[in-house]
């Protein structure tokens, strides 16, 4: 009987010991879980903090992209502006080239016209200018005979001089342009009619009529008058007239000088 | 020694000669010689070396076509570029000049910049300015 009691007591003690051990294991597991929970919470907090950094970085990068896009846009606009400016320079260059051509022609024409006081040489130079710089095939140069009021042909190209009729001052396109002192244009079509030139350029010194240049036909490769031709008409109207007038005066003075010299020689012999 | 281009202008009209000189003066390091008719041109082209010749067709004493033909007969001048400058704009005139050995054909009235452009093309090299 007493042995049974002791056996039962040992059994109960063993049961308690296993219960205590189980409880200790439970406590250790609990502690371990708490530590893991704390660790997870800590990671979560860190993650939450990193997300803020990323957001900040992302925001900075987006701002930078916006900035670069703006710069890119400005650069494209600047390139477009430079291209536009470049085009303007190219156009200006062409204009200057044109201007240079015009000035070269005008300079040469003016230089040649005033290079001589020989009347026949002046007519030759006027003829050269009209052929080479304007590109006329048929034309005539007239000089006003003040005694009878007729414009007499003194030089021609493309037709014999004897075939070119004289023109009364004030009559027809040529006579009218000289009387009025205005360049006159007729049919754009080439004409062989001596009374209907393509253009009549009056030659005048101040208000004094000197003569005219009438162009009847252009060279086959030249289809119309250019702006340079109009400048040459203006130049010829003034400079050819002055050159002819100066050569006429020089010729007259030479003749008078010879006459006077003849008298002096006669008187002193 | 500095390389210079040499151009010969054969043209009877003083106006045209002056205009051509005026245009070609814009080429760097270039010497320009003028001849007033075909015979004068022949004398000058055979006496000196030229890199380019500009030749008018209608000239006294010897016309431009005859001059071009004589130049091309000369072995040493076969390669020299020749530009014809004329009032004749017809295709047959152009073909005749080119058949004789001209390299380019310009019709009057000429433009200074066109002459310059053609000269630059035929000279190939424009010596650098010193």
What residues does each domain of chain B span?
A: 5-122
Q: Which residues contact A142 (CB under 8 A, 6 or more apart)?
A: A151, A152, A153, A154, A166, A167, A174, A178, A211, A212, A213, A214
Categorise residue B61: left if φ over 0, alpha if ψ from -120 to 50, beta otherwise.
left
Q: What is the mean pLDDT of chain A?
A: 88
Say yes or no: domain B5-122 is CATH 3.40.50.2300: yes
Number of residues that this document lists for chain A: 269
Q: How far is CA B28 from CA A5, B7, B23, B44, B129, in A?
A: 136, 12, 12, 22, 6
Mean pLDDT computed over A39-66: 82
Residue A201 has pLDDT above 90, yes or no: yes
Say yes or no: domain A114-258 is CATH 3.30.450.40: yes
Mean pLDDT computed over A102-124: 91
Q: How far is CA B22 from CA A254, B4, B18, B119, in A?
A: 34, 18, 6, 13
Classify A167 as helix, strand or coil. strand
Contact A15, A7 (CB under 8 A): no
A44 pLDDT band, cuts 50/70/90, is confident
Are A221 and B89 an interchain contact pair (Cβ–Cβ within 8 Å)? yes
pLDDT digits (tens, 9 = 90+) for B40-98: 999 999 999 999 999 999 898 899 999 999 999 988 888 899 999 988 877 788 888 89
User: Could you give the CA distance from residue A140 to residue A142 in angstroms, rounded to a whole number?
Assistant: 6
Tell me which DSSP letter residue B75 carries: G
Task: Please indicate if any CB of chain A lies within 8 Å of the CB of B25.
Answer: no
Per DSSP, what are the bridge partners of residue A143?
A152, A211
User: Could you give the CA distance from residue A9 to residue A16 in angstroms, rounded to a whole number?
Assistant: 11
pLDDT confidence of residue A84: 94
Contact B23, B115 (CB under 8 A): yes
Measured between beta carbons, the chain A residues lying within 8 angstroms of B112 are 100-101, 104-105
Which of B15, B56, B58 would best serve as a mutation to test chain A binding (most A beta carbons within 10 A)?
A: B15
User: Could you give the CA distance from residue A175 to residue A178 in angstroms, rounded to a whole number?
Assistant: 5
Measured between beta carbons, the chain B residues lying within 8 angstroms of A107 are 22
Q: What is the mean pLDDT of chain B?
A: 89
Measured between beta carbons, the chain B residues lying within 8 angstroms of A133 are 15, 19, 109
Q: Give the nearest partner residue to B19 out of A97, A108, A137, using CB atoms.
A: A108
Classify A252 as helix, strand or coil. helix
CA distance A122 to chain B (A): 12
Which of A94, A99, A100 would best serve as a mutation to test chain B binding (most B beta carbons within 10 A)?
A: A100
> Burial letters for A108-134: b for 16+ Cβ neighbours within 10 Å, e otherwise?
bbbbbbeebbebeebbbbbbbbbbbbb
CA distance A124 to chain B (A): 10
Are A128 and B14 an interchain contact pair (Cβ–Cβ within 8 Å)? yes
Higher pLDDT, A3 or A61: A61
User: Could you give the CA distance from residue A235 to residue B72 in angstroms, rounded to a whole number?
Assistant: 41
Residue B130 has pLDDT above 60, yes or no: no
Are A125 and B22 an interchain contact pair (Cβ–Cβ within 8 Å)? no
Of B110, B125, B113, give the one whose Cα is nearest residue B51: B125
CA distance B5 to chain A (A): 22
């Amino acid at each position: 009987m007493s042995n049974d009691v002791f056996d039962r007591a040992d059994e109960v003690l063993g049961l308690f010991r296993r219960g205590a051990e189980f409880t200790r294991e439970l406590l250790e597991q609990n502690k371990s879980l708490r530590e893991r929970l704390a660790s997870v919470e800590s990671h979560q907090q860190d993650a939450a903090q990193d997300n803020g950094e990323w957001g900040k970085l992302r925001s900075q990068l987006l701002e930078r992209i916006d900035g670069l896009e703006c710069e890119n846009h400005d650069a494209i606009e600047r390139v477009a502006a430079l291209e536009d400016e470049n085009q303007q320079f190219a156009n200006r260059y062409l204009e200057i080239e044109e201007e240079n051509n015009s000035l070269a022609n005008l300079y040469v024409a003016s230089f040649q016209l005033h290079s001589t006081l020989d009347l026949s040489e002046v007519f030759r130079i006027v003829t050269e200018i009209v052929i080479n710089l304007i590109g006329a095939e048929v034309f005539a140069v007239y000089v006003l005979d003040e005694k009878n009021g007729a414009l007499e042909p003194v030089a021609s190209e493309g037709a014999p001089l004897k075939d070119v009729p004289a023109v009364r001052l004030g009559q027809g396109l040529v006579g009218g342009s000289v009387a009025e002192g205005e360049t006159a244009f007729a049919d754009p079509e080439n004409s062989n009619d001596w009374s209907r030139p393509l253009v009549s350029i009056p030659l005048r010194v101040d208000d004094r009529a000197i003569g005219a240049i009438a162009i009847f036909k252009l060279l086959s490769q030249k289809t119309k008058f250019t702006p340079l031709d109009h400048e040459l008409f203006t130049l010829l109207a003034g400079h050819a007239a002055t050159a002819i007038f100066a050569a006429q005066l020089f010729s007259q003075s030479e003749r008078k000088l010879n006459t006077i010299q003849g008298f002096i020689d006669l008187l002193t012999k | 020694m500095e390389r210079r281009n040499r151009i010969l202008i054969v043209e009877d009209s003083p106006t045209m000669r002056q205009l051509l000189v005026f245009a070609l003066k814009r080429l760097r390091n270039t010497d320009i010689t003028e001849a007033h008719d075909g015979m004068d041109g022949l004398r000058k082209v055979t006496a000196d070396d030229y890199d380019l010749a500009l030749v008018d067709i209608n000239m006294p004493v010897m016309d431009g076509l005859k001059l071009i033909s004589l130049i091309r007969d000369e072995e040493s001048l076969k390669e020299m570029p020749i530009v014809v400058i004329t009032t004749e704009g017809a295709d047959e005139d152009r073909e005749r000049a080119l058949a004789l050995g001209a390299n380019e054909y310009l019709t009057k009235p000429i433009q200074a910049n066109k002459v310059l452009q053609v000269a630059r093309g035929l000279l190939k090299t424009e010596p650098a300015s010193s």
